[in-house]
Structures are given as C-alpha cells and as structure tokens.
Amino acid sequence: MSLGTLLGILVGIILFLQAIFLSTDQYGSFLHIPSLIMVIGGTIAATFIAYNERYALQALKAVISIFSKTKVDQNILLADVEKIISWGEIVNKGGIRELENKWDEKEYDNPVIKFAMEMVFMGEKSETIYKETENLVETMYDRKMISVEVLDTMSSFAPSFGMIGTLVGLVILLNDMSDPAALGAGMSIALITTLYGVLFQNLLFKPAARKIEQKNGMYKFQDMLLVEGITMLPDKKHPIIIQNHLNSFLDPASHFDVAGGG
Amino acid sequence: MSLGTLLGILVGIILFLQAIFLSTDQYGSFLHIPSLIMVIGGTIAATFIAYNERYALQALKAVISIFSKTKVDQNILLADVEKIISWGEIVNKGGIRELENKWDEKEYDNPVIKFAMEMVFMGEKSETIYKETENLVETMYDRKMISVEVLDTMSSFAPSFGMIGTLVGLVILLNDMSDPAALGAGMSIALITTLYGVLFQNLLFKPAARKIEQKNGMYKFQDMLLVEGITMLPDKKHPIIIQNHLNSFLDPASHFDVAGGG
Amino acid sequence: MSLGTLLGILVGIILFLQAIFLSTDQYGSFLHIPSLIMVIGGTIAATFIAYNERYALQALKAVISIFSKTKVDQNILLADVEKIISWGEIVNKGGIRELENKWDEKEYDNPVIKFAMEMVFMGEKSETIYKETENLVETMYDRKMISVEVLDTMSSFAPSFGMIGTLVGLVILLNDMSDPAALGAGMSIALITTLYGVLFQNLLFKPAARKIEQKNGMYKFQDMLLVEGITMLPDKKHPIIIQNHLNSFLDPASHFDVAGGG
Amino acid sequence: MSLGTLLGILVGIILFLQAIFLSTDQYGSFLHIPSLIMVIGGTIAATFIAYNERYALQALKAVISIFSKTKVDQNILLADVEKIISWGEIVNKGGIRELENKWDEKEYDNPVIKFAMEMVFMGEKSETIYKETENLVETMYDRKMISVEVLDTMSSFAPSFGMIGTLVGLVILLNDMSDPAALGAGMSIALITTLYGVLFQNLLFKPAARKIEQKNGMYKFQDMLLVEGITMLPDKKHPIIIQNHLNSFLDPASHFDVAGGG
Amino acid sequence: MSLGTLLGILVGIILFLQAIFLSTDQYGSFLHIPSLIMVIGGTIAATFIAYNERYALQALKAVISIFSKTKVDQNILLADVEKIISWGEIVNKGGIRELENKWDEKEYDNPVIKFAMEMVFMGEKSETIYKETENLVETMYDRKMISVEVLDTMSSFAPSFGMIGTLVGLVILLNDMSDPAALGAGMSIALITTLYGVLFQNLLFKPAARKIEQKNGMYKFQDMLLVEGITMLPDKKHPIIIQNHLNSFLDPASHFDVAGGG
C-alpha cells in the first residue's frame, strides 16, 4: 500500500471539500451528475477513439496500481547486487556448470532473470545475452509506457471536455436571457464542468501518469542492473570487478562492499 | 471493424447531445451551418496551404481508417515468429536453396517479406539485408507518419478557427449594441464556433492522430520483427537462437517455445 | 503553381469574408488599417530584432515560394533511380573513365550531383564521397530550415501583437467610460487586432512554416537518394545491388525493377 | 549563502507587498488562509500522488538548498585541473605505485575521486575506469534530477489549484446573487487563489527547479572533468597532454598553463 | 552596429506609441511607474532566484550585444577557407615545420585557432586534435547558450508578473466597489501590467534570446569550420581535398575553387 498516494488523494479531496464547506452551505451545487458524466464520459470516449481498447483498459487498470507500493528500493537493489556477486563467486570457482547445478528456477519469478540465465546456461556469449536481454527489457518497458501516454492524453482531454460542457451551458444560457435572475445560477452550473475537468486532470490523470512513469522507470532500472550483472557471468569476471561495475549504478553512499559484506 | 473507435465516437456524440437535450428544448441553436462551414472549412483550407495536396488528402483518408481493426496483435506476432522459426529449420537442414524451392511468393503480401526474401535468395549477406530492409521499413513508416503530423496540425487549427469565428461574432455584436436584448443571442451564436472547434479537436482530429500513430507503430514493430528474423536465415542460425532473439521482442508471458510448440 | 496552396488561401479568405457578409452589412468595421499596421508591423519589427536581416528577408521570400509546386514526387525520384542505375551499368562495364567520357556537366544543375561526381571522377573513395556530400546536403538543409524557424517565431509573435493591440484598446476604453454607449464600439475595435493576429497566424505564418519545412524535407530526401546512389559507383556495385539499395528508400508499390524497366 | 537567491526572493516579496501597499490600505484582503491552504495543500497533495514519498520529500528539501552557494566555479575547476596534472607528473615519473604511496584518502571526500582512484590503484585499464566512473556520474546526476522534475510538476500544479479555487469561488458566488453588493468582494476572494498559484509558480517552484537543474549540471561538469583527468593516469600520459585535454573543457580565457603555473 | 535590431526596436516602439497617440490624448495612462517596477522588478528578481548571479548578469549583458553586428558571414567563412587552404599548401610543400616558421601568433585572436595550432605544432595526431578542439568549441558554445536559456526563462516570467500585477489590481478593485465610476479606471490600471509583460516578452526577451542563439550558432559554425580544416594539416592532405571538405560546409553557390582563386 503506497501511503503517499493514499494520503495525497485523501488530502486533495478533503482540501477541496473544506474549501466548499467553509464558503457555502449549498453543497449540492457542487455535485452535478450530468456534468460529471459529460467530463468523465467524454474523456473516456475520446480515449477509446484514440487508443486500442486493450491499451485504454490497460491504462485504466494502471491507475489502480498507483495505490500499491513500488517493490524497488535501494535495499532491494543492494540485495540484487549481493545475489549476482554470489553467483559470480560460484562461477569464478566452479564454472557455469556449478551455478547451473545449484540453480533453482522456482526461486526467481523475474522474467528477465529467467530469460538471461537460460542463455547463460546454454553457453551463449555475453555480448549476445546482453543484446537479447536489453532488448527484452526495452520492449517490456515500451509496452508498459503506453499506459503513461494514454493517461497523459486523458489528462489533456479532461479540461477540454470541461470546457465543452461550459460552452454548451453558455450557449443555452445566453440564447435565452428572459430571466436575468437565473443567469447567475446558469453560469454557476456551466462552470461546474470546467471545475470537474481541471480537478480530474490535476488530482487523477496527471499525477497517475507521473507515478506510473516513475514505477516503470524503477523496474527498468532494476532489470537493467540484473542484465549488467548476469552478462558478466559467462566471462568469469572476478567478483570485485562485478562489484565495481554494479556499484557504479548505485548511490555512492550505499555502495556494496564485498569485503565488508554489504 | 474497431469496436472501441465506433463506441467512442457514438458515446462522445450521445454525451454531447444528451448534455444539450437535458438542458434546453431549443436544440436548433446548436446546429449553425455557417459556423460549421467556418470551422471545418477554415481548418481544411489552412491544411491545404500547409501541406501538399497529396499529404492532406492522405490524412483525410487515414481518418476513415481508424474505424478498421488493426491487424497486428500478440497472436499474429506469435504466428510470424513460428513461421520464421519454421523457415529457420528448413534453412538449417537443407540450406537457403531448400527454402527457395518450397517458397510460394503469392502466400505473403507483406512487401517487407518480399523485399527481404528476394535478397536472401540472391545470396546477400545478412548485414546488407538488415540495412536495406530496415531502411525500407523506416521510410515506409516515415511516409505514413506524415498523416499523423497533418492531423496534429489540424487539431491545432480547429480551435483557432473556432476562436476566429467567435471574434468575428463579437466584433459585429459589440459594434452595434442598439438592441441590448439581442446581445445574449448574439454572443450565443458567436460562441458556437469555439464550441465546434474544441469538439472537432477533441473528438476527431486529436484522437485520430493518436490512433493512426499507434497503428503505424504496431505495423512497424511487426515489420521489424520480420526483418530481425529473416536476416538470421543467411547465417543458418540454429532455430533456438532465432527463437531467443525473436522472443526478446515479445511479452515474456507469451514467449514462443519451440519445444512446446508455441 | 501549387493549386492546393492557392485554393487553400482563397477558400480561407472567402470563408472569412462570407462569415462577415452573412452576419453584418457594416463590412467596414473589419478593415481597420491602424490595427493591421500594429499587428503586421509589430510582428515584422520583432522578427528583425530576433533574426539577422538576411534570415528575416529570406523567410519573407520563402513565404512567396509556397505558391510554387514542389519539383519532387514519386516519378521524379524513380527517374533519379533509373538515371543512377544506368550510370552504374556504364561503370560496371567500362569503369569510371567510361562514365566520365560520356558525362555532360551541363545536363545536371543539382549542386549535389555536381559536387559528388567531381569527387567520383577524381577517384575518391566512396566513404569519403558519402561523408562530404552528406555534409553538403545537411548544411544546405540547415541553412534552408532557418526560414521555417523564422516563420514559426512569427507565428507566435502575430497573436501576441494582436493581444498587445487589444490591451492598448482596453486601457484607453476603460480609462474613460464617460460615454457608455461608445463602450461596445470601442471593444469591437480593440478586438480587431486579436482577430488579425490569430488570422495571420493560422492562415499565413503557421501553414507557410509547415509547407516550407515539408518542401525542404523532400529536397533533402531527393538529395540523399542521389548521394546514396552516386556513392555506390566508385565500388562498381552491380546495378541490381544499386537498385535494391535505392528501392529501399521508395514506396514498395513503385519499386524500380531493372528487369521490367521501371 | 547564495546572495542572488536571497535578494531575488526578498526583492520579489517586497515588490509584491509594495504593489499592494501603494494601492490599498486593506492589506488584509491579500492574506486569506483558506486560499493559501487550498493552493499549497492541493499542490503538495497532487505531488504526493504523482511521486514516491521519498522523491517528493527530497524535492522539498532541495528547495532549501537553493539558498546555499554552489561550490563549483572557474577557480575550483582550475584547482582540480592543477591537482590532476600534479598527479600526472607523479605517475609520469614514478608510476601508479608512487602516486598510491603518496595518496591520502581522507583528503578527498568526492565519491567520484574515491571510486575512480580505487580502480586506478587496482590496475584497471583506463577504458574500463572511464566507463564505470562515467556511469557513476550519470546515475548520480539522474537521481538528483528527479527533484527538478518534481519541482517542474509542482510549478504546473500550483496555478491549476489556484484556478480550481477560483472556480469553486465563482460557482458559489454565481449560484446565489441575492446580494449584488457582495458580488465584487466574492470575486475578489475567488481571485486570491489564482494569484497565489501564479505567485508560487513564478517566485518559488519554477525558479527553484531552474536553480537546482543548474547546480546539478555544474556538479556533473566538475565530476566529468575529474573522470576525464583521472582516466589519463593509467596510460601515463604526459602532463602537457593531460593539460591540453582538461583545458578543452575550460573557458579559453582561463586555460591552465603548466609552464606558467596556472 | 546591427541595423536590423535597431530598426526593429525603433519601429516596434513607434508602432506601439502611434497606436496610443492615434486613439487617445491621455498618453499618461500608459506610463505607470509602479506597474513598470512590478513587471521588470519581478522578472529580474525571479531570474536571480532561478540562476547564478554570474549567469543572470551575463544574460543581461548579452541583451546589449544584440545591437552589435555578427562578425560571421559567407565572405568571412570563405576567407577562413582560403586561409586554411593556403596553410595546407605550405604544409603540403614544406611540412608542419615550414608553417610553424611562418606562423605569427599575434595575427589570430581566435582561441580555437590558437589552441588547435599549438597541438598541430606539438605534433599531435589529427584525431586527438579534432577531439580536443571540438570539445573546446562545444563547451564554449554551451557556456554561451546559458544566456539564451536565461532570456527564454525571463521571456516566460515577464507576462506572468504582468498577470500577477493585474490580479493584485483586480482583487483591490473588486474588494471595494463603492465607487462604480472608478471601476473602469481601476481596471485600466490593472491591465497595464499585463500589457507591459507581453510587450517586454515580445519586443525584448524573446527576440533577444533568438538573436543570441543565432549568433552563438554562427560562431560555433565558424569555429567548427576552422577545426575541420586545421585537423587536416597534420595528415598533409592535398589542398584540393581540404577544399572539397570545407566546401561541403558552404553554400554551393559560393563554393571555394582553388583553381579560380575563390
């Protein structure tokens, strides 16, 4: 559970409601279902025109994923480095076969490890393994980044459909000004769609796009770290060399030190 | 038939009409032919100044294509991979000649396959074939992406001509305010062009540009997958190597496994 | 004569005038010379501050060039390919000298052909010729693209100076509201500059920038096709190889086939 | 202490206050706590949805760092160059061992120097050291640039939440216009959030993002200068060669001249 | 003296003043010192928060430089080419020593020539000289481009502080509408800051940024031309080869022809 995301959304909504409750006792005027349908419906409709059903649905699912904690941090990266260095030690002493004998495929569910190690055990050259696994990581990343593009597009659709709603309201309003007293209330309703559009853009679509972009980036970083390490195995590089190489990807403050054990 | 596109457009239009019908019974005020001509005509006129007739027409045709289903998905990519691996098996056993004998040109209408296999059968080196076919795929993609650029430009012209229409209306209106009662109705009409401009931008030009960009990207991805596979044939790579290489482009969840048959 | 450009501008102007004539009989209010001078003068003044006199004038001349037809299309590219393949046949049989003897410099006015063939006849290596002619094409393209940058900047200046004019009008208007009746007419005049600014942006500067960008791109494409072909001559590549290479730049639907003569 | 930053913020605030005090004696209307909470709270809430807690907090801390002086200038770079050239002289005479003997690790707290020199003393090849330390510098830079991305996003959230506040105010206001006299005061309050949003964007988030981007760039430049110099040590390059190489990164006006001592 | 810049600024100011003088006789309302201080002061304050004092001042000085003529044109580039070809002839006949003997350092004040020739005379390899001098040119260019970034940021600050001023004015105005007659005059003053902001953006900061960007680009182009030429000297390339190489950077219409003397 990502506490930051949850708190962010709760605080955002509370701030918004408090701004209303402090200023008026006619809360009802801020919940206007037809306006809500206009903005959300229009945004989703345009999204389904703009993107394959599969991508549009994938993006909507990705929004839910922003509440779950990213499973990549400095400690997990350090654990990955430690794991790869220990493999390097096995290979350095007993060769690839030794590592293959000790290998338990079920232990690792990361497809990059599985794909790369299969080629290592097949005896492929490290350049080939690097090229193929890097390609795997890149195409996985590209596929996941489509959700970010969809959400960024939705983030630009939302205020546009808010504006469309407001324009519809204004056209109706201005067309018949027989009752000047109703003018204010009419404009008030007309502005609701713009308000909804800007709210959805800034509290939902845009932050979700940024959060997912960031998560994808972190998973790609972890995957590339694994690739960088695993592709040093076939060349039986000394564990210290592996350590130096992998450390160059980490924060200097927490560089792995094989001598000190971490 | 792309269901998502169709539903998107229908829902978008229904939402828009419902917003009108719920709020007023003077539907007529939303259909203003001169305003429609101003916005659509201005957008198309500016497009024909900005782009070659051929490109402008190609973009308008591309808009229609967004209703047709993209013929590239994970299953079709897997079938392509299977096909190429089977060719690899033939070449691995009987050489390029064996494959050439079994080859039936009519079976494949993809110009990339035709162009690449001709060079394979001519005995070209794999690097040359890769360079030439990659170039073919890139230039085909660049040519198709012009439509996306045209539609993105139209997507920025539409609201501008909407604004021009509104400004024209306002200038006329403000110039003669002898009848204050007509002021509202005048502004109502003036705003219609802005409404049309934003609607065309967000329900037509912008989503169409995104959808076509996406389709072009998928076709390019498929073509490059074919190129990656076919260029491994002249070197008589082992089918397992071909499989590993092509799998690195696919979703790990559906990697092709020659042992398991798919 | 580019029909599309001409029609586009005519239709754009007609649409604009029709929108006015349909709605009012006081056409005069739309022709306000001081406003025109403000917008066009301000845009040009800012352009001369922003760019070298030479570049600013070059861009203004380029605007006129959008009415002339681009002399690059699929047929001309095919003719270029045919020409180069025929040179390849001469070189393949009789060597570079044979081609040099048959060469008539006056036949070709394209500076890229002249520059490249001189080096071919001097006996330079194909890599050197490629590097030098590619550089020539790139720097020629960069020089011509300055006009596009100037026009894109003008396209952003025009509505800004429209806005400046409107603000000046509003400041004067609001400062002295002793005659409320004149308020509307005053605002009407104030809005004219904004209208002019948006019109010039969307019917002149922006479309002209796109059209010139496109033309430059097409000439560069043709020049690079010539470079790709000519640099195959020193290595006496077989005409079929030249054909494959040049075809990879063309639309597969119109690939040149030396056997079929085109 | 960065005098420019401090003065900038003080002058910015004074200008803003002076603009108020000169024009009105009702200063109170510019301090509206609920509006302040809406804009700042909304911006921070959206930031915590959009970014990992750790990154969001890191960005807020980075804002404070803009008041501290950057510790990189032409003199410090020259001192670095001098230092590296002196190491080059030691290596040139007595070899890497000589330098290692004289080395006092405590003297340098820059992690790049530590990481690179360790590999130099381990006897790694200069290409390897370059690749690994460049990677270290790049990943350190990328990690620090996240704060800039966060602040740029906040800089776009601030005016949006200002606009949301204003829309909420307008909806309430227009909904009940029973007291026309209160209309002005209501709109005045509604506009306060927009004012706050634009102020925070232009006096806080945007300048802070630029300042931190600039600092990060300068530290990266210094780190890469160290990398460029240190990786010349294993090859025992002549100090003059080192000097030429490092000078090529500096302003010609202050090129280091080993003959003249600086 | 750059005539275009001067005329541009004069014409821009005259157009602006004429627009005022033609429409009103209360010129005074357009000169509002507190508004001017607000916009200019706010822009400069934000700039000093956003950038190092040194860079902010460097940008302000760069603004003055837009009035001076750029000392790079086709003729000067041709003279450079001629100069380098003549050096090539000396080297081709008598070797580097011959050129060194004839060399008079005081003749050339361009730091790139000085830096490159020193390495030529030291006997460095052409690849090394190219790498080092290209690096020198790039870092010189990067340092100068900071002014462009600063001015582009100022160009976005100016209208924002204009808007802040207008909002302050509106808040005060709307808060106290006891005197409706003063409303117009109040809004008139409030709009002045927006007018100033847009004016400074479009007649000063934005054009200055473009002009300086352009100048820097031209100096970089000249410097790289020198680098391309000088680095051919150590290999004793034939003057015709040097001429071909340098011509590939020039407009074909003015290619240097050693036979024809220019």
pLDDT, one tens digit per residue, over A4-13 is: 888 888 988 8
Average pLDDT over residues D96-107: 88
How much is the pLDDT for B4?
A: 82
DSSP B37: I
Whether A33 and chain B come into contact, CB under 8 Å, resolves to no
State whether residue B211 is helix, strand or coil. helix
Q: Which of B147, B153, B140 is nearest to B65 (CA)?
A: B147
How much is the pLDDT for B210?
A: 96
Contact B45 C15 (CB under 8 A): yes
How much is the pLDDT for E260?
A: 55
Among the residue ranges A192-201, D147-156, E1-10, E35-44, the one predicted with the least confidence is: E1-10
Give the pLDDT band (50/70/90) at residue A85: very high
Contact D171 A184 (CB under 8 A): no
Contacts by residues A120-126 (CB-CB < 8 Å, ≥ 24 positions apart): A120/A96, A120/A230, A120/A233, A120/A234, A121/A96, A122/B240, A123/A96, A123/A234, A124/A234, A124/B244, A125/A234, A126/A231, A126/A232, A126/A233, A126/A234, A126/A235
Contacts of C among chains (3+ CB pairs under 8 A): B, E
Q: Which of C111, C87, C114, C112 is nearest to C101 (CA)?
A: C87
Give the pLDDT band (50/70/90) at residue D262: very low
Report pLDDT digits (tens) over B153-202: 999 999 999 999 999 999 988 887 777 777 888 898 899 999 999 999 99
Q: Is the pLDDT of residue E123 over 70?
A: yes
- CA contacts within 13 A on the Cβ side of A44: 13
Q: Which of D147, C54, A33 is nearest to E69 (CA)?
A: C54
Average pLDDT over residues C115-133: 94
How much is the pLDDT for D261?
A: 46
All residues at 6 or more sequence positions from E231 whose CB lies less than 8 Å from its CB, including other chains = E116, E126, E129, E130, E133
Give buried/exposed letters for A148-169 (b at 16+ CB in 10 A, else e).
bbbbbbbbebbbbbbbbbbbbb
Contact E41 D15 (CB under 8 A): yes
pTM of full prediction above 0.90: yes
How far away is chain E from the Cα of C80, in angstroms, using its nearest Cα?
Answer: 20
Contacts of B among chains (3+ CB pairs under 8 A): A, C
How much is the pLDDT for E184?
A: 84
Among B48, B144, B147, B156, most C C-beta atoms within 10 A, so best to mutate, is B48
Residue whose entry in the numeric block shows the structure tokens 């230092």? D83
How far away is chain B from the Cα of C98, in angstroms, using its nearest Cα?
Answer: 28
For E257, name the nearest residue in chain C, comparing CA atoms only: C115
Chain A segment 190-229 residues within 8 A of D by beta carbon are 191-192, 194-195, 198-199, 201-203, 206-208, 210-211, 214
Q: Which of A4, C168, D19, D180 is nearest to E166 (CA)?
A: D19
Contact E34 D22 (CB under 8 A): yes
Contact C139 E250 (CB under 8 A): yes
d(C-alpha B167, C-alpha C193), whole Å: 10
Q: Which residues of C touch E240 (CB under 8 A)?
A: 122
All residues at 6 or more sequence positions from C93 whose CB lies less than 8 Å from its CB, including other chains = none
DSSP A107: G
DSSP string covering D195-236: HHHHHHIIIIIHHHHHHHHHHHHHHHHHHHHHHHHHTTTTTT
Q: Is the pLDDT of residue B258 over 70?
A: no
H or E segment at C192?
Answer: helix C181-200
d(C-alpha A88, C-alpha A75), whole Å: 20
How far away is chain C from the Cα of B240, in angstroms, using its nearest Cα?
Answer: 30
Contact A248 D139 (CB under 8 A): yes
Q: Is the pLDDT of residue B49 over 80?
A: yes
Evaluate whether E136 touches D243 at the Cβ level (below 8 Å): no
How much is the pLDDT for B259?
A: 62
pLDDT, chain C, mean: 91
Chain D segment 62-91 residues within 8 A of E by beta carbon are 66, 70
Average pLDDT over residues E163-182: 87
Q: Give phi and psi for E44, each to the nearest 5.
A: -70, -40
Contact E49 D198 (CB under 8 A): no
Q: Which of C203, C207, C193, C191 is nearest to C161 (CA)?
A: C193
How much is the pLDDT for E261?
A: 46
- CA contacts within 13 A on the Cβ side of B36: 5
Q: Which residues of D touch E172 (CB under 8 A)?
A: 20, 23-24, 26, 29, 188
Report pLDDT digits (tens) over C31-78: 999 899 999 999 999 999 999 989 999 999 999 988 888 888 888 999
Handedness of CA A80, A83, A87, A89 (dihedral sign): positive
**Helix ranges (DSSP H) in C103-125:** 111-122
What tokens does B260 get? 């398991």
Whether E129 and chain D come into contact, CB under 8 Å, resolves to no
For C135, name the nearest residue in chain E, comparing CA atoms only: E248
Q: Is the pLDDT of residue D235 over 60?
A: yes
Among the residue ranges A99-103, E28-32, E245-249, the one predicted with the least confidence is: E28-32
Q: Is the pLDDT of residue B262 over 50?
A: no
How much is the pLDDT for D91?
A: 94
How much is the pLDDT for C261?
A: 46
Report pLDDT digits (tens) over A178-220: 777 778 888 988 999 999 999 999 999 999 999 999 999 999 9
Report pLDDT digits (tens) over B12-32: 889 888 888 887 887 888 999
Measure the N-to-C terminal CA separation of chain E; round to a whole number of Å.
28
Whether A252 and chain D come into contact, CB under 8 Å, resolves to yes
Chain C segment 105-124 residues within 8 A of E by beta carbon are 111-112, 114-115, 118-119, 122, 124
How much is the pLDDT for A226?
A: 96
How much is the pLDDT for C258?
A: 67
Q: Is the pLDDT of residue C151 over 50?
A: yes
How much is the pLDDT for A257?
A: 78
Q: Which residues of E touch D255 (CB under 8 A)?
A: 115
Angle at D110 between CA D104 and CA D113, to 5 degrees: 65
Contacts by residues E229-232 (CB-CB < 8 Å, ≥ 24 positions apart): E229/E80, E229/E81, E229/E84, E229/E85, E229/E88, E230/E84, E230/E87, E230/E113, E230/E116, E230/E117, E230/E120, E230/E129, E230/E133, E231/E116, E231/E126, E231/E129, E231/E130, E231/E133, E232/E84, E232/E88, E232/E126
Q: Which of C141, C133, C136 is nearest to C228 (CA)?
A: C133
Q: Is the pLDDT of residue C102 over 80?
A: yes
**Helix ranges (DSSP H) in A51-125:** 53-65, 74-102, 111-122
Contact A195 D171 (CB under 8 A): yes
Report pLDDT digits (tens) over A212-255: 999 999 999 999 999 999 999 999 999 999 999 999 999 988 78
Among the residue ranges D160-164, E94-98, E135-139, the one predicted with the least confidence is: E94-98
How much is the pLDDT for E1?
A: 64
d(C-alpha A96, C-alpha A120), whole Å: 8
How much is the pLDDT for C262?
A: 42
Give the pLDDT band (50/70/90) at residue B137: very high
Q: Which residues of A touch D50 (CB under 8 A)?
A: 8, 206-208, 210-211
Highest mean pLDDT among A104-108, B222-226, E174-178: B222-226
Q: Which of E69, E82, E51 is nearest to E150 (CA)?
A: E51
Q: Is the pLDDT of residue B75 over 70?
A: yes
Whether A49 and chain B come into contact, CB under 8 Å, resolves to yes
D205, burial (CB in 10 Å: exposed 0-12, middle 13-18, buried 19+)? buried
How far away is chain C from the Cα of B92, in angstroms, using its nearest Cα?
Answer: 26
Give the pLDDT band (50/70/90) at residue A20: confident
What tokens does C261 get? 């003569």
DSSP string covering C19-84: HHHHH-S-GGGG--HHHHIIIIIHHHHHHHHHS-HHHHHHHHHHHHHTTSPPS--HHHHHHHHHHH
Q: Is the pLDDT of residue D260 over 80?
A: no
Angle of the B239-247 helix axis to the B206-230 helix axis, nearest 10 = 160
Evaluate whether B251 touches B74 at the Cβ level (below 8 Å): yes
CB atoms within 10 A of CB D31: 10
Average pLDDT over residues D74-99: 93
What is the interface pTM, i.e. ipTM, of the complex? 0.91
Contact D132 A248 (CB under 8 A): yes
Q: What proportion of chain C, given as a percentage, has pLDDT over 70?
A: 98
Report pLDDT digits (tens) over A148-166: 999 999 999 999 999 999 9
Q: Which of D25, D9, D133, D107 is nearest to D64 (CA)?
A: D9
How far away is chain B from the Cα of C102, in angstroms, using its nearest Cα?
Answer: 30
Q: Is the pLDDT of residue A105 over 80?
A: no
Nearest CB among A52, A136, A165 relative to B4 is that of A52
How much is the pLDDT for D69?
A: 82
Average pLDDT over residues E250-261: 75
Contact E136 D252 (CB under 8 A): yes
Whether C168 and chain E come into contact, CB under 8 Å, resolves to yes
Evaluate whether A154 touches A56 at the Cβ level (below 8 Å): no
- CA contacts within 13 A on the Cβ side of A92: 13
- CA contacts within 13 A on the Cβ side of A128: 16
